[in-house]
Structure 1
Amino acid sequence: MSTVAWITARGLFGRRRALLLLPLPVLLIGLATLCRAVGVAPADWGVPVLVGLGLAVVLPVISLIVGTGVLGSEVDDGTIVHILTKPLPRRDIILAKLGVAVGVSALSSAIPLFIAGWLADSVRFGLALAVAAVVGAFAYSALFLLLSLLTRRPVLLGLVYILVWEGLLGRFVSGTRVLSIEQYVITIADKIEPTALLESKVSLPVAAIMAAIFILGCAIASIDRLRSFSMAGETS
């Protein structure tokens, strides 16, 4: 399992898509630093920067890039067959891939969110955003890893989820918020450190339960899907 994780991490950072992880965190920290330096009140820039950019773009997009990359490329080019021939339980393969995806996504989003939250309010608020981002990284990564096994266009479907379901419907159709990972993240951060900069729209029990369902449900579905690859001899 550790070998699979090492190979996955090496392959992920060996591709050009790893460079896509840098601009968004740098932009988030840069905007927060600039607003703080010129004396703009956090009430004026906190929501658009922390929520509109940090939680609605940086966290899900980074998770999408990484989550679809840890296994999707191997499915596309057929090299997944080499993994499937190894005497490894499919569960271990998925957990190793998911672990790498969560680790990279969490570090790449939680650190800039912590810095931006600290600049906007306090260290405690920064920690609240970082903790919530880690939970979000788990849920997003599990979802996008599953999509990479279900379709040849996981990035496209992931963007539809982020931009349409969470970005559009999640803001105007209240019923869709129950299936919005972004809303779970906002609620968790707001409960850890209540602030006027965040407005939770689902309850904490709903956020916690639904996040767990996303993580466990998608992980189990991914394991089952990978088993069907080996049984049917699929390589794409």
Structure 2
Amino acid sequence: MSTVAMITARGLFGRRRALMLLPLPLLLIGLAAICRAYDLEPTQWGAAVIVGLGFAVVLPVVALIVGTGVLGSEVDDGTLVHILTKPLPRRDIILAKFLVAVVATAVTTTIPLFVAGLLAGSARLGAALAVAALVGSLAYTALFLLLSLLTRRPVLLGLVYILIWEGLLGRWVSGTRVLSIEQYVIAIADKIEPTTLLDAKLGVATAAVMSAIFVVVCTVVAINRLGSFSLAGETS
């Protein structure tokens, strides 16, 4: 399992894909720093930067890049077949790649969100945003890793989920929020540090339970899906 994790990390950070992780977090920090430098009240920019950019764009897009990258490229170029010939349990392969993806996503998103929260309010708000981003990293990564095994266009489907389901339906149609990871993240952050900058529309219990369900169900299905791959690279 550790060998798979090291190979995955080397492949992920050795590609141009790694450079794609930097612009959005830097933009988040930069906008928050500019607003703070001009002495703007957090109520004027906090929600737009933290929720509109941080939770709605930076977190899911970074998770999408990483989650689909740790396995999707191997499915496309055929190297997955080589991995499957090794005497490794399918569970260990998925868990190793999931762990690498979560760590990469969490490091890339929790730090800028902590900084944004610190600039917008306090270290406690920053910590609340970082914890929520960690939960979001787990849920988003599990979902996007699964998509990379279910379809040859995981990025496209991931963008549909982010833009359509969460960006439109999740904000305006109450019934869809229970399946919106963005709403879980907002609810958890707001519970840890209640603030007017966050408008939670779900209870924290629902958010926590649904986050756990996303992680467990997507991971289990991903393990079963990988187990259905034959050595020819097709599913049976």
TM-score by length of structure 2 reads 0.98
Query: Are the equivalent residues in 1 in contact too, given 2:80–2:233 (CA < 8 A)?
Result: no
Aligned residues: 235
Cα-to-partner distance string for 1:96-142 (whole Å, 9 max, x where unaligned): 00000000000000000000000000000000000000000000000
Q: Counterpart in 2 of 1:40?
A: 40
1:184 corresponds to which residue?
184
**Alpha-carbon distance in 2 for matches of 1:233, 1:124:** 52
Q: Which residue of 1 aligns with 2:92?
A: 92
Residue 141 of structure 2 corresponds to which residue in structure 1? 141
Maintained 8 Å contact 1:132/1:189 = yes
Deviation per residue, 1:73-118 (Å, 9 max, x gap): 0001111011101111000000000000000000000000000000
Structure 1 residue ranges (4+ consecutive) displaced by more than 4 angstroms after TM superposition: none
Residue of structure 1 equivalent to 2:61: 61
- Which runs of structure 2 are paired with 1:101-180 in the superposition (5 Å)? 101-180=101-180
Q: Secondary structure, in 3 states, of the residue corresponding to 1:32? A: helix
Q: Structure 1 residue 233: deviation in Å?
A: 3.6
Give the share of equivalent positions with the same residue, in percent: 73
SS of the aligned residue for 1:71 comes to helix
Unmatched 5+ stretches in structure 1? none
Q: CA deviation at 1:235?
A: 4.9
Deviations 1:200-236 (A, max 9, x none): 1011111011101100000000000000003x74258
CA contact (8 A) 1:80 1:235 kept: no
State the secondary structure of the residue aligned to 1:144.
helix
Question: 2: distance between equivalents of 1:235 and 1:68?
Answer: 18
Match of 1:2 in 2: 2
The corresponding residue for 1:234 is 233
Task: State the partner residue of 2:206.
Answer: 206
Letter in 1 for 2:121: D
Q: Secondary structure of the residue that 1:229 maps to in structure 2?
A: coil
Cα distance in 1 for residues equivalent to 2:205 and 2:124: 22
- Provide the C-alpha distance between the structure 1 equivalents of 2:42 and 2:122, rounded to a whole number of angstroms: 11
Q: Is the 8 A contact 2:70 2:97 kept in 1?
A: yes
Tell me the TM-score normalized by structure 1: 0.98
In the alignment, residue 156 of structure 2 is paired with which amino acid? Answer: L
Native 8 Å contact 1:78 1:235 kept in 2: no
1:169 partner amino acid: L
5+ residue gaps, structure 2: none
